Structure formats: structure tokens, C-alpha cells
């Protein structure tokens, strides 16, 4: 048998199948199949692991029928062994494909997978008008990876749930498609793994890691901009996966067309599937998020007005809403007071709406600047601003710096590169990792929540024009 015999036979079957299948979804299933062998009237097709059971039960019988009609009686269609039962189950010629099963395993052992955050699941995601479309698209992709929208591109401002949805797709796919190979990476990890691979001559291993998978989830692809070699590599990775019927899901802080510094061909690829925007949450969603968090953390709230106050006061993102809740709860426990609407108002500064501060300062309902965050954090930790922007790296200073980065991102919404500059010319990756790290730590560490509350408190005190700010008082109290 020659390759052209195989292709000719397969084309004839596909033409017949397309004539008989009216449902576009079936046509899409058909497009993920690859003919891989032809032996004595038996044509073997390869299907991605996640599609195998559907293909085997629904499509193969139909294709069998089409084969007999198109090519004559006696033809048989068989599903080639999957990757789980046969290393190299994918078509041999595929660039960087799964052909070298043992090497691939070795590579996987060497480079640990970036884990998915356990809490970022569909069950934990609160639906609202701002995210309903993106959520529906994410769920569809998780149910039918490689079939529905490919790529799925989730975009929107900071803290609105893009990463949450991205991880949720990964969790869902792992739970519902046994054997599916999922890889989650940020654009940063992709970049640094790629540059490491170039430096250590491990490029083959790198390609294998990124191309022998069924579902690739990449966060913050705006950071691929203006990195020519990485962009190029990402382009080829994307194409290889797409050709092989693997699903790609991407997130970014803007729509593909607004990534001016990205090569046009990559922008076109990003926009070629479905672009779903996530927007800041409306008040009902914010309230639901708060209720869910309260239940999850088993916090007791006697005054439901407290949550309403937080939801009313903080509107920019879900992350900001969660952070505001933490501030209020931490302040209540520091001062040994119940969490009430009045306390929430006090902590969030809305007792003084629109009140002008001292000359040269700004209104209380405006977000803080990065400079103010730096000054407040330095005061709370008994450090100088230069310590935070400089190279000092003892444990306390490093933690204070990370916290300041997190608060600055939350308050100013400034880009990671801009914050990197403001923090002494650091790389934006440092800021990104700090924000993610703090996000996770305040989830589980009450002491971190208290630190966060104190920084916010200090900012609020400055906003109110107080000379003897609450943050310093708390410092004394805590001794």
C-alpha cells in the first residue's frame, strides 16, 4: 500500500460520508480523524483519545457503510490503537508527535506540570451577564475538546475569571475524558521553558512536551508580544496541535486584534476560533460570589447588609470583591467586632463618599496610586520604600514587596510590565508570580489576610487625611 492509496481511499469515504451526514457536528467529528493504515481492505483511522469512544460507537459504523458504498463490498474501517495502549499512536509523521513514547515520558518527568488550582472549577464559578457567554463556550470546549471552538480565546480585564475558566476546562476534561493529555502553562512559562530548551539544546524535548497533548491551556498570551523567537515557536506549536485535532484555549487581557505588537499571522490564528469576552461583574454576581466565599470559608455573618455593602462598593473585578471581603473580615477579627454593614462601610471608606482630602491628596473613592501603595506597605512593615523597590531580600521584605505588588495591581489595574518598572525595574514575570502567589496565600493563610487588611487600612487612613493612621495603630496593637 502507498500513501496515495491510503489518501485516495480515505477521500472517497469522506466524500460519501459528507454526502450523507447533514449534522455539522458530525462533520466536525469527521475532521479530527486521520487515516493511518491500509491493509487488505482494512482502513485504520486514528482518533484523539478524548473522541475515541464517540467515534467508535457512532461514527465508525457509518464510515464502514460509506466505505462499502464508495469502494465496494468487503471494506472495513477500524480504529487504530489509542495513545494509552500504543505509544506513538498518533500518525508517525507528525512533527514532534507522540511517536517517541519513552522520550516523552522522560521529558514529562523532568519538567513538572504546572498544576491546576483546585478551587478553579466550573462548580465554583458564579454566572452572570458579564461571563455567561464565556462560561458557556468554556463548558462546551471542556465537553468536546478539539471539536467545538478551536481555539477558544477568553479575554477581558484583570480579575474577572479568565484563569478560573481556563483551569475549570482542564479539571473538567481530566474528569470526563480519561486519558486526555492536558497541559496548562502561562505565556511566561512557555517562554522560559523555550529559552531554557534553546540554551540546553533540549528543543526536541520541549516540542514533544507541547505538541504531544490533547488540550493546551495557555494563560496571558499578551506576554508573547514582541518576543520574536517565542512567537514563532508558539505559532508552530499552535499549528501542530490544531492540525492534530487537539484543543487550544488561550486567555489575554485584550482581543487578538488589539495585540498590535504580535505578528499578524498569530493574531489571525488566535481569532480564528471563538473569541469570548469576560466583563466586570454586575452587582448580583458580586453578591453571589461573596455568599459563595462566605459559605466556602464557613464564616458566620449576622448582618447580610455587610455583603451588600461590599458588593455595592467594589465593582471593578471579582478579585477586588474577594479582596474587599478579606479586608473586612480581617479587620473585624483584629478589632474584635462583628462583621456588619457599618464595619464594611468603615473599612471600605464609603462612610466618606466623595469627601476631599487634604490639599494635594485625592478623593477617598478613587483607587490608590502605586506610590501610595508602596508608602503604605512600607509603613505597615516598618520598612523604607527603597527597601521595597530595591534588592533587599530577607523574608519579611520579600513578602512585603509581593503584597505591595498584589495591592498595586488590584488598586491601579496597571499592567504587569508597568508595575515591574515601578518596583525598581523588575521583570513583569516577577510581578505576575507575586500577584498569583499572594492570591493563593491569602486564600489559606489568616496571617497574610491580616497583613493585607493592614496595608489597605493604611491606604484608607491616608485617604482620610489622618495623621495617625490606623495601620500604624494596628502595628502597635499587634506588638
Ligand X SMILES: Nc1ncnc2c1ncn2[C@@H]1O[C@H](COP(=O)(O)OP(=O)(O)OP(=O)(O)O)[C@@H](O)[C@H]1O
Q: Which residues bind ligand X (CB under 6 A)?
A: 120, 124-126, 131, 156, 158-164, 253, 289, 318-319, 322
CB of 125 or CB of 206, closer to ligand X: 125
Minimum distance of ligand X from residue 143's CB (angstroms): 19
Minimum distance of ligand X from residue 94's CB (angstroms): 32
Minimum distance of ligand X from residue 163's CB (angstroms): 3
Separation of alpha carbons 271 and 151, rounded Å: 8
Residue nearest to ligand X (CB): 161
CB of 183 or CB of 319, closer to ligand X: 319
424 is in an annotated binding site: no
Minimum distance of ligand X from residue 11's CB (angstroms): 43
Minimum distance of ligand X from residue 440's CB (angstroms): 9
CA 270 and chain centroid, separation:
15
Minimum distance of ligand X from residue 205's CB (angstroms): 28
CB of 13 or CB of 182, closer to ligand X: 182
CB of 158 or CB of 469, closer to ligand X: 158
Minimum distance of ligand X from residue 321's CB (angstroms): 8
* Peptide bond just before 31 cis, omega within 30 deg: no
163 is in an annotated binding site: yes
CB of 312 or CB of 473, closer to ligand X: 312
CB of 217 or CB of 470, closer to ligand X: 217
370 is in an annotated binding site: no
CB of 227 or CB of 293, closer to ligand X: 293
Minimum distance of ligand X from residue 330's CB (angstroms): 17
3-state secondary structure labels for all residues of the chain: CCHHHHHHHHHHHHHHHHHHCCCHHHHHHHHCCEEEEEECCEEEEECCHHHHHHHHHHHHHHHHHHHHHHHCCCCEEEECCCCCCCCCCCCCCCCCCCCCHHHHHHHHHHCCCCCCCCCCCHHHCCCCCCCHHHHHHHHHHHHCCCCCCCCEEEECCCCCCHHHHHHHHHHHHHHHCCCCCEEEEEHHHHHHHHHHHHHCCCHHHHHHHHHCCCEEEEECHHHHCCCHHHHHHHHHHHHHHHHCCCEEEEEECCCHHHCCCCCHHHHHHHCCCEEEECCCCCHHHHHHHHHHHHHHCCCCCCCCHHHHHHHHHCCCCHHHHHHHHHHHHHHHHHHCCCCCHHHHHHHHCCCCCCCCCCCCCCCCCCCCCHHHHHHHHHHHHCCCHHHHHCCCCCHHHHHHHHHHHHHHHHHHCCCHHHHHHHCCCCCHHHHHHHHHHHHHHHHHCHHHHHHHHHHHHHHHHHHCCCCCCHHHHHHHHHC
162 is in an annotated binding site: yes
CB of 124 or CB of 475, closer to ligand X: 124
User: Could you tell me which residues are annotated as the binding site for ATP?
Assistant: 159, 161-163
The annotated binding site is made up of 159, 161-163
Amino acid at each position: 500500500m502507498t500513501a496515495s492509496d491510503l489518501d485516495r481511499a480515505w477521500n472517497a469515504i469522506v466524500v460519501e460520508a459528507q454526502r450523507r451526514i447533514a449534522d455539522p457536528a458530525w462533520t466536525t467529528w469527521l475532521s479530527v480523524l486521520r487515516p493511518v493504515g491500509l491493509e487488505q481492505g482494512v482502513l485504520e483511522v486514528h482518533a484523539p483519545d478524548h473522541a475515541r469512544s464517540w467515534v467508535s460507537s457512532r461514527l465508525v459504523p457509518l464510515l464502514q457503510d460509506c466505505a462499502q458504498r464508495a469502494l465496494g463490498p468487503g471494506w472495513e474501517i477500524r480504529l487504530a490503537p489509542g495513545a494509552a495502549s500504543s505509544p506513538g499512536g498518533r500518525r508517525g509523521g507528525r512533527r514532534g508527535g507522540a511517536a517517541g513514547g519513552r522520550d516523552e515520558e522522560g521529558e514529562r518527568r523532568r519538567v513538572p506540570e504546572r498544576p491546576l488550582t483546585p478551587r478553579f472549577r466550573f462548580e465554583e464559578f458564579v454566572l452572570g451577564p458579564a461571563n455567561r457567554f464565556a462560561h458557556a463556550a468554556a463548558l462546551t470546549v471542556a465537553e468536546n475538546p478539539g471539536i467545538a471552538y478551536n481555539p477558544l480565546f477568553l479575554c477581558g480585564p484583570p480579575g474577572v475569571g479568565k484563569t478560573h475558566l481556563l483551569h475549570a476546562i482542564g479539571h473538567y476534561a481530566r474528569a470526563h475524558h480519561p486519558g486526555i493529555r492536558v497541559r496548562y502553562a502561562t505565556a511566561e512559562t512557555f517562554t522560559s521553558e523555550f529559552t531554557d530548551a534553546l540554551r540546553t539544546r533540549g528543543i526536541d524535548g520541549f516540542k514533544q512536551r507541547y505538541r504531544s497533548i490533547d488540550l493546551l491551556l495557555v494563560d496571558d498570551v499578551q506576554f508573547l508580544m514582541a518576543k520574536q523567537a517565542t512567537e514563532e515557536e508558539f505559532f508552530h506549536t499552535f499549528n501542530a496541535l490544531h492540525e492534530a485535532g487537539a484543543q487550544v484555549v488561550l486567555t489575554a487581557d485584550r482581543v487578538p486584534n488589539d495585540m498590535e505588537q504580535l505578528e499578524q499571522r498569530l493574531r489571525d490564528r488566535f481569532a480564528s476560533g471563538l473569541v469570548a469576552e469576560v466583563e466586570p461583574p454586575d452587582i448580583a454576581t458580586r453578591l453571589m460570589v461573596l455568599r459563595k466565599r462566605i459559605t466556602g470559608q464557613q464564616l458566620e455573618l449576622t448582618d447580610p447588609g455587610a455583603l451588600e455593602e461590599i458588593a455595592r462598593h467594589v465593582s471593578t473585578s471579582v478579585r477586588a470583591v474577594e479582596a474587599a471581603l478579606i479586608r473586612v473580615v480581617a479587620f473585624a477579627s483584629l478589632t474584635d467586632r462583628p462583621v456588619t454593614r457599618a464595619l464594611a462601610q468603615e473599612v471600605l471608606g464609603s462612610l466618606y463618599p466623595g469627601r476631599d482630602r487634604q490639599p494635594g491628596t485625592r478623593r477617598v473613592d478613587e483607587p490608590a496610586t502605586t506610590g501610595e501603595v508602596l508608602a503604605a506597605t512600607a509603613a505597615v512593615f516598618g520598612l523604607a520604600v527603597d527597601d521595597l523597590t530595591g534588592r533587599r531580600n530577607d523574608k519579611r521584605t520579600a513578602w512585603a514587596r509581593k503584597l505591595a505588588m498584589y495591592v498595586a495591581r488590584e488598586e491601579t489595574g496597571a499592567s504587569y510590565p508597568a508595575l515591574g518598572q515601578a518596583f525598581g525595574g523588575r521583570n513583569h514575570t516577577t510581578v505576575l508570580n507575586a500577584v498569583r502567589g499572594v492570591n493563593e496565600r491569602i486564600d489559606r493563610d489568616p496571617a497574610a489576610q491580616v497583613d493585607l487588611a493592614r496595608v489597605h487600612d493604611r491606604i484608607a487612613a491616608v485617604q482620610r487625611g489622618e495623621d495617625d493612621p490606623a495601620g500604624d495603630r494596628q502595628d502597635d496593637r499587634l506588638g
